[in-house]
């Protein structure tokens, strides 16, 4: 409910900005405002996350995000939702997300046994990517029927579902919460650098996120300039990508334990699918390749996220997941600017091609790194205690 509500608000806010200004630059400013805090201060969020009980911390951050949505709702209802107001609320939401995002990622490890973590991360991806389809569709109906203002109210109310769920949840592991480290960003970076199972997915995601995960920038231009389509064409391409992302997240749930070769394989498939999309001669072929792109892209991100959670000690998990949020979302402002420049200079097909090359380079890095000396490092280095039954399943 809450994820769909967030996409309802995101879609409505974008439409409202275009109504107010007619400027794509203003829309880009709103998007950048939400991602800029993670780019500037994202790694520091982990230091805060590892000092508090995750469930209580999430109740606070989700309540604040709900208040921000309610404020936008009230301002829009009074005709005061100007572009500076929307930018400010987007930026404040980005500040809260510095703590909220790594806390949500780390909290998954407290809810399920280690042997079920991959499936849990997969389910989380299914929920998020399904919301990417449902939210904009609901927003489209509401905008046509009643306007943008009710969309903000729906998002504000959707946070009540999260707060009720968090109040009811009893995590499997809570004993380590009081013993969390108070180390800073340097401690988290040093910890991640010392473990191949941590620095490799972070490095791969940093490269892929910077050049390949910029669909919001490249797809509209690709649909209009390369495929000579309309807004409906862009909507179709976005839907196909989202459908594939749901499939990719579901497929990861079939993998009992993420390994380096799976990360390499999904990055490789992501690159090939992006290259095929760049070369697509028409809408039909592009729709098919974007489904495959979505499958590979979000299988890769789910595997990478799960690997980080499995191999992070409980008192460092917030640090590590903050680094993950930094490379996953914090690169958005820079990546969007680079992709926009490439699209404007050489065309959207070239921008997709650069993303494909980045994915292939990431896959090559994963294939060339040396395997840890212990043959069972993927199992023995698990920072989360593994029950005998879970070890047997893996």
The answer to whether position 230 is within a domain reads yes
The pLDDT-based confidence of 376 (bands split at 50, 70, 90) is very low
Closest by CA position to 352, among listed 242, 245, 273: 273
The answer to whether position 361 is within a domain reads yes
The answer to whether position 391 is within a domain reads no
CATH number where 288 lies: 1.20.1250.20
180 versus 164: which is more confidently predicted? 164
The DSSP H or E segment spanning 257 is none
Whole-prediction pTM = 0.72
The answer to whether position 21 is within a domain reads yes
Look at the chain and report how many structural domains it folds into. Answer: 1
The answer to whether position 176 is within a domain reads no
The answer to whether position 177 is within a domain reads no
Mean pLDDT of 77-103: 88
Q: Which domain holds residue 116?
A: 2-171+184-371
Mean pLDDT of 377-390: 43
User: Which residues are within 8 A (CB) of 312 and not within 5 positions of it... i.e. 6 or more apart?
Assistant: 106, 109, 198, 319, 320, 321, 383
The answer to whether position 178 is within a domain reads no
Segment 38-86, tens digit of pLDDT: 777 777 777 777 778 889 999 999 999 999 999 999 999 998 888 889 8
User: Which residues are within 8 A (CB) of 60 and not within 5 positions of it... i.e. 6 or more apart?
Assistant: none
Half-sphere exposure at residue 180, Cβ-oriented, CA atoms within 13 angstroms: 24
Residue 280, pLDDT score: 92
The answer to whether position 216 is within a domain reads yes
Q: Tokens in use for 189? A: 């970076």
Cα separation of 340 and 1, whole Å?
32
């Amino acid at each position: 409910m809450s994820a769909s509500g967030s996409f309802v608000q995101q879609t409505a806010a974008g439409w409202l900005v275009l109504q107010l200004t007619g400027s794509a630059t203003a829309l880009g400013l709103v998007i950048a405002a939400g991602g800029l805090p993670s780019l500037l201060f994202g790694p520091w969020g982990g230091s805060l996350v590892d000092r508090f009980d995750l469930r209580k911390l999430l109740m606070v951050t989700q309540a604040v995000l709900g208040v921000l949505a309610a404020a936008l709702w009230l301002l829009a209802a009074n005709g005061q939702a100007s572009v500076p107001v929307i930018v400010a609320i987007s930026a404040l939401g980005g500040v809260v997300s510095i703590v909220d995002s790594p806390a949500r990622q780390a909290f998954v490890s407290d809810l399920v046994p280690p042997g079920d973590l991959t499936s849990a991360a997969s389910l989380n991806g299914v929920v998020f990517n399904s919301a990417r389809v449902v939210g904009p569709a609901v927003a489209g109906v509401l905008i046509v029927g009643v306007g943008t203002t009710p969309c903000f109210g729906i998002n504000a109310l959707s946070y009540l579902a999260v707060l009720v769920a968090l109040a009811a949840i009893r995590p499997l592991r809570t004993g380590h919460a009081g013993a969390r480290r108070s180390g800073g960003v340097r401690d988290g970076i040093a910890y991640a650098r010392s473990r191949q199972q941590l620095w490799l997915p972070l490095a791969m995601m940093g490269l892929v996120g910077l050049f390949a995960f910029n669909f919001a920038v490249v797809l509209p231009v690709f649909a209009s300039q390369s495929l000579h389509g309309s807004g409906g064409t862009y909507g179709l391409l976005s839907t196909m990508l989202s459908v594939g992302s749901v499939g990719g997240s579901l497929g990861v749930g079939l993998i009992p334990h993420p390994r380096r070769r799976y990360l390499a394989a999904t990055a490789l498939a992501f690159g090939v699918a992006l290259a095929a999309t760049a070369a697509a001669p028409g809408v039909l072929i592009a729709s098919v390749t974007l489904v495959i792109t979505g499958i590979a892209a979000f299988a890769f991100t789910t595997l990478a996220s799960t690997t980080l959670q499995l191999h992070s000690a409980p008192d460092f998990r917030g640090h590590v997941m903050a680094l993950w949020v930094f490379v996953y979302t914090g690169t958005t402002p820079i990546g969007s600017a680079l992709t926009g420049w490439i699209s404007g200079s050489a065309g959207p097909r070239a921008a997709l091609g650069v993303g494909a090359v980045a994915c292939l380079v990431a896959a090559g890095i994963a294939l060339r790194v040396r395997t840890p000396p212990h043959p069972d490092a993927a199992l023995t280095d698990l920072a989360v205690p593994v029950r005998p039954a879970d070890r047997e399943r893996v």
